[in-house]
Amino acid sequence: MARHLKLLVQRWSSRVFSVEVDAAPRYFGVREQLRGEPVPPDVFSEVQKQDRCYSLLVCSGDRVTGDRFHWELRDRLQTQLPPGSGLRSMSSFIPDQKGSLLKGYFLQSQAGNSSLIEDILTDLEQRNPVLVCSYSQSEDGQQWTQCLWYQSEENPVRFCVVPSETPKHHPSVLNMINSDVFYSLEEACDVLKQCGDIIPETRSVLGMLPSSLDARRKPDFPVIVIEGLDATGKTTLTESLRDSLGATLLRSPPQCLSAWRGRFDREPPLIRRAFYAVGNYITAEQINQEASKSPVIVDRFWHSTAAYAIATAVTGPVSNLPHEGAEVYRWPGDLLQPSLVILLTLDPEERKRRLRSRGLMKTDEEEELDHNKLFRLRVEEAYRRIGGPACTALDASPSADLVLQQALLLIRAKCHL
Ligand X SMILES: Nc1ncnc2c1ncn2[C@@H]1O[C@H](COP(=O)(O)OP(=O)(O)O)[C@@H](O)[C@H]1O
**Residue 224 bridge partners (DSSP):** 297, 340
CA distances in angstroms from 141 to 42, 45, 169, 283, listed in the order given: 14, 11, 33, 61
List, as one string, the DSSP characters of 267-320.
S-HHHHHHHHHHHHHHHHHHHHHHTTTS-EEEES-HHHHHHHHHHHHS-SSGGG
Q: How far is the CB of 375 from ligand X (least distance, A)?
A: 16
234 binds ligand X (CB under 6 A): yes
Does 232 engage in binding with ligand X (CB under 6 A)?
yes
- Report whether 226 contacts 299 (CB < 8 A): yes
Query: Which residue's CB is nearer to ligand YYY, number 135 or number 260?
Result: 260
Three-state DSSP class for residue 225: strand
Please report whether residue 33 would count as binding ligand X according to CB under 6 A. no
- Asked whether the beta carbons of 44 and 160 are under 8 A apart, the reply is no
Q: Are 98 and 172 in contact (CB under 8 A)?
A: no
Shortest distance, position 401 Cβ to ligand X, whole Å: 8
Q: Looking at 20-28, 135-143, 232-240, 361-369, which segment touches ligand X (CB under 6 A)?
A: 232-240
179 makes contact with ligand YYY (CB under 6 A): no
Per-residue x/- mask for ligand X, residues 179 to 218, rule CB under 6 A? ----------------------------------------
Q: Is 349 in the site for ligand X (CB under 6 A)?
A: no
Shortest distance in whole angstroms from residue 407 CB to ligand X:
11
Residue from the set 357, 369, 395, 405 that interacts with ligand X by CB under 6 A: 357
- Tell whether residue 231 is a contact of ligand X (CB under 6 A): yes
CB of 321 to ligand X, least distance (A): 23
DSSP 3-state assignment of 254? Answer: coil
Give the burial class of 239: count Cβ atoms within 10 A of its Cβ; 0-12 exposed, 13-18 middle, 19 or more buried. middle
Q: Which does 276 bind (CB under 5 to 8 A by kind): ligand YYY, ligand X, none?
A: ligand YYY
Task: Work out what residue 194 binds among ligand X, ligand YYY, none; the CB cut-off runs from 5 to 8 Å by kind.
Answer: none
Of positions 305, 320, 337, 339, contacts ligand YYY by CB under 6 A = 305
252 and 178 Cβ atoms separated by less than 8 Å: no
x/- site string to ligand YYY, residues 249 to 268, per CB under 6 A?
A: ---xx---------------
DSSP string, 339-402: SEEEEEE--HHHHHHHHHHHT------HHHHHHHHHHHHHHHHHHHH-TTTTPEEEE--S-HHH
Query: Which residue blocks in 31-156 are alpha helix, DSSP H?
Result: 63-80, 114-127
Q: With CB under 6 A as the contact rule, which of the stretches 81-89, 296-304, 313-321, 327-335 interacts with ligand YYY? A: 296-304
- Chosen from ligand YYY, ligand X, none, partner binding at 252 (C-beta under 5 to 8 Å by type): ligand YYY
The Cα-based distances of 112 to 11, 117, 146 in angstroms read 34, 10, 21
With CB under 5 to 8 Å by kind, the binding choice for 292 among ligand YYY, ligand X, none is none
Quote the least distance from Cβ 301 to ligand X, whole Å: 14
Least separation in angstroms between CB 179 and ligand X: 28
For residue 145, give the DSSP letter. E
Q: Does 358 participate in binding ligand X (rule CB under 6 A)?
A: yes
- Residue 304 lies near ligand YYY (rule: CB under 6 A): yes
**Comparison of 210 and 348: residue with beta carbon closer to ligand X:** 348
**Nearer of residues 328 and 407 to ligand X, judged by Cβ:** 407
Please give the order of strands across the beta sheet that includes 223-228: 248-251, 296-299, 223-228, 340-345, 392-395
Binding status of residue 279 toward ligand X by CB under 6 A: no
- Tell me how far apart the alpha carbons of residues 169 and 394 are, in angstroms, rounded to a whole number: 31
No. of helices (H) and no. of strands (E), the chain: 12, 13
Q: Which residues bind ligand X (CB under 6 A)?
A: 228, 230-236, 354, 357-358, 396, 399-400, 403
Q: Which residues bind ligand YYY (CB under 6 A)?
A: 230, 234, 252-253, 276, 279-280, 300-301, 304-305, 308
